[in-house]
Amino acid sequence: MSKRQKFQLTLYIVPILIALFFYRGFLTGIGGILEFVWKFILFCFFVFIRQPNGDLLQQAFDALRQREVLFFFLGWGAYWLLYRISLFIMAQFALPVTTWEERRKAYNRLVLFTKGKHGPAIFVKGGIRTSSQGELESSAPGVALVDSSSAVALVQHDDMKAISLPSLEEWKEAQDDAVKKKKKKGKSAAYEPKEPDIKGPGVVFTEQGQKIDDTVDLRRQTRGSDFLEVYTRDGIKVKSKVNVNFSLSDPPEKIWVGYLGGRQLTDLKILKVEQKGNDLTVKGGIPLDVDDAAEILRRIDLPPEPVPAASPDPSAPYAFDRERVKWAVFHQARDKDGKLIPWHQAPLEAASAIFRRMISDVPYDSFFNVDLFALTRHQAEVENEGKSGREQKTGKEKTDKTREQVFLSDFKDEFAMRVKARGLANFQFIEHPRGKPFSETETVSLDALRQPPAVTLTGEKFNYFRHMGIVVKGASFGDMLACDADVKGRMLDAWKAKMEREIAIFDAEYELKAIRVRNKNRALAQEEMTHLLSDVFRSVPYFDEALALRVLQALETSVADKEMSAADLQEVLKNLHDWLLADQKDDDDGAKKPPQTKEPS
């Protein structure tokens, strides 16, 4: 037994149990009502046979005037009145309603629930519907509780079951069928198409024939693809993953556009700018779609068109824009295979197409020919030279990236900007104060620029999703990986050779520095030893043992204070031996050899 059946059974059991306390009057009242019905039927029978009997009619109404019958009707009337009042009071607490219109709808839904004619009771949280089995197919009046991050689209499903709005041909066919039915049945059955109703957070009451076609998540969303295999300009297959961050509640971002390098239509580009205070520096440009460029130039001199504003409720965590939600639900996109896809997959599909086209124009070496040790070498040079204030630090930050790293960073920025231009955005046209086109690395003042009102493009175009009201907050792709194993091996070999070369260069540089340090320390040690020995020899004469002891002490002090290798120490000892024992060696040689006498000639 369902909850509704239990509730309805309870409503009928309660008055019957109460009537048992007054069973005599209750039975008398039931008898009076039956007597009235019986005598009234007899009266109608005699009227039918054209023998009316007024006494039967009088007796029938006299049966209703009995005290017990009146008590019976008053009891049931009071119970019904109290029952409806209780439902009305209960409805205000069963649902979070605030206005009298919402209270009335909540009361009607509760009454329908007690009768078993209620529609769906749906909870929508984070754009996901939660309901009982079969409730979504019901077209009876129902209620939906929508959280603060969701919105729903209601469509009349009396005569259609499509997820999107019917076309004019479908409407005409439906009207023709209605005219045929009218001729057959003799009554009006014209089909009147109704506009969809977009409801935001809160309590949503569905009317007869309405269904929730789709739910929308107002939070910022991220979609990522699997590995996309793409060929570079030189025919090498690579793969990477694409990610897009978008939203239906965030306001459109501003995109600067202007003439760069010329005044032709193709020279109108998306400007990469850097704003510091009131100064604007042009860093480069990104090609703009020709149709978009023509539309922007056509509308910059026209009055700005009203753009649907989001919900002004400051307490709402996510802005709710009915028009943008309506565009997203009822404007379907197609993937590369021509299949219909929901609105939240359109940004990823467009980003994947842009990624394929951009990668096909770039050679393979632009992504993988990276100097891995350039940043480390530069940091080592800066540390050796020393830091000289904030200016030197700023210069270091500008030169930290290698040529390949700068190219990859610019490539990702261009990819993100191209994806943003496909969505809903405010294109701000700016013109040079002298009317000439901008040039790269040029800095101008914002006050001096001509700035017409921003243009918001909402037209439907192939592989664009701005007509769905989607704002792209960011787009990127991951690391580029080679698909072919041979290419991976060659790439690793190239990196390995480059790393080995860099390691050899580093080893040679540090070995040279070490040799210079050793030579410098050796010279200092020899210089200090010379000073110490000169002091020893200039002192009072000592015995040979004392002199040798002083020399060794001086040598020990010199070696302890300065670095000296074993080879250098051996060479110093040999020199000392030659210096100190030269005289003793000569004496020994003289003693061993007898003096030679010179024979007389």
10-residue mean pLDDT series, the chain (601 residues) = 59 66 68 80 80 76 75 73 77 77 80 74 85 73 86 73 52 65 50 72 83 88 91 87 93 91 90 87 90 89 63 74 88 78 89 92 74 46 50 46 76 92 92 85 86 87 87 90 76 78 86 84 72 62 59 62 60 67 55 50 38
The total of other beta-carbon atoms located within 10 Å of residue 56's CB is 18
Distance CA 521, CA 532 (A): 16
Structure tokens, 20: 């048992």
Which amino acid makes up residue 105? K
Question: What are residue 258's DSSP bridge partners?
Answer: 269
pLDDT of residue 541: 57
pLDDT of residue 373: 44
Q: What string of DSSP letters covers 41-84?
A: HHHHHHHHTT---HHHHHHHHHHHTSHHHHHHHHHHHHHHHHHH
Can you give the pLDDT at residue 550? 64
Residue 498 pLDDT: 77
pLDDT at 398: 44
pLDDT at 375: 43
Give the pLDDT confidence score for residue 77 in this predicted structure. 75
How many C-alpha atoms does 470 have within 13 Å on its Cβ side?
34
pLDDT in the model for residue 29 = 72
Question: Taking a C-beta distance cutoff of 8 angstroms, is the pair 4, 118 a contact?
Answer: yes
